[in-house]
Amino acid sequence: MKKTKTLWLMGAVVLVAGMMTACGGGSGSNGAEAEAAALPTDGILGELPKAVADYHAAEAAASAKYDELKKSDPEKAKEFWKDYLSQNNTLKFKKETLPTLGKALEGKEIPTEVADGLPIKLDKNLTLDGERYATTTGVFTAEASKETKDGNLYPVAFDTDGQAIAVSSKSIDLDLRNWPPAEGKQFKVNFFISINDYDAAGWARLQKVVIMDKESEAYKQAAEAIAANRKAFKEKGQAE
């Protein structure tokens, strides 16, 4: 593990490699399925990102086909949708596919860094359990500044192109009753790997996680890039 130097984030919007949401049309849905199928499975998260992309692309394709049938033959569309729902794809995906692929990742490490200037040191890289939680521990190397807001240190995932993928929903775990923490104070890091249609391509190319201060410019740029990517993905789906 190492501390990162200044993080320069590219300003360009990352266009996810293809996939689209259920609001897309027939041709776009077919393209989404092909592009989802082409996602790599040899990354840190193995087959998990591709499986998520495949699932969402299939849902989009089914929705598009239903919409097309409904225009010409409402009864046939109704039968098609009834048959599709009877396959219980969503239930199988959530109850079988995700748990199986999550279990396969148990023990895998995600290279983890600390943004330059933060007074913390990690004991080891984030390590995945069998339920898609990545955890580690660390200590403060100096007393945190009284100006530093509590609960401000968040893990941010980046892909192999240096683009931000996602921010953890939880900051590092501290006893905030005694703030600022003194040197040697221990903390935990928990990052649940939640993959969506719009960021599956990024997760398939996961390279590292960086612990960042939410007030830093680098963090704000990362958050903006993530939001822009989500927006671009949705707009692409609507256009197709």
| 217 and 130 in a common domain | yes
Confidence (pLDDT) at 150? 59
Confidence (pLDDT) at 105? 96
Residues 48 and 61: their CA atoms lie apart, in Å, by 20
**Taking phi first (over 0 means left), then psi (-120 to 50 degrees means alpha), and beta for anything else, what does residue 184 get?**
left
Last residue of one domain, picked from the residues 105, 128, 146: 105
Whether 166 maps to a domain, the answer reads yes
Whether 223 maps to a domain, the answer reads yes
| 114 and 77 in a common domain | no
Range of the domain at 184: 109-230
- pLDDT, tens digit only, all 240 positions of the chain: 544 433 333 333 332 333 333 333 333 455 667 677 778 899 999 999 999 999 999 988 888 898 889 899 888 889 988 998 889 999 999 999 999 999 999 999 999 999 998 889 999 999 999 999 999 999 998 877 665 665 788 999 999 999 999 999 888 887 666 777 888 888 999 999 999 999 999 999 999 999 999 999 999 999 999 999 999 988 876 555
| 117 and 65 in a common domain | no
Last residue of one domain, picked from the residues 58, 77, 105: 105
Whether 18 maps to a domain, the answer reads no
| 204 and 145 in a common domain | yes
| 118 and 100 in a common domain | no
Confidence (pLDDT) at 30? 56
| 115 and 79 in a common domain | no
Helix (H) or strand (E) holding 99: helix 98-104
Whether 38 maps to a domain, the answer reads yes
Q: Identity (one letter) of the amino acid at 113?
A: E
CA distances from 80 to 3, 24, 70, 74, 76 (A): 54, 18, 10, 10, 6
Tally of structural domains, the chain: 2
| 191 and 129 in a common domain | yes
Q: Identity (one letter) of the amino acid at 209?
A: V
Last residue of one domain, picked from the residues 105, 130, 148: 105
Q: Is 146 buried (19+), middle (13-18) or exposed (0-12) by CB count in 10 A?
A: exposed
Whether 162 maps to a domain, the answer reads yes
| 63 and 38 in a common domain | yes
| 40 and 116 in a common domain | no
Whether 240 maps to a domain, the answer reads no
| 124 and 80 in a common domain | no
| 171 and 211 in a common domain | yes
Whether 217 maps to a domain, the answer reads yes
Only one residue has tokens 């968040």, namely: 154
Confidence (pLDDT) at 14? 32
CATH assignment of the domain containing 173 = 2.60.40
Helix (H) or strand (E) holding 212: strand 206-213
| 176 and 192 in a common domain | yes
Confidence (pLDDT) at 223? 96
Whether 95 maps to a domain, the answer reads yes
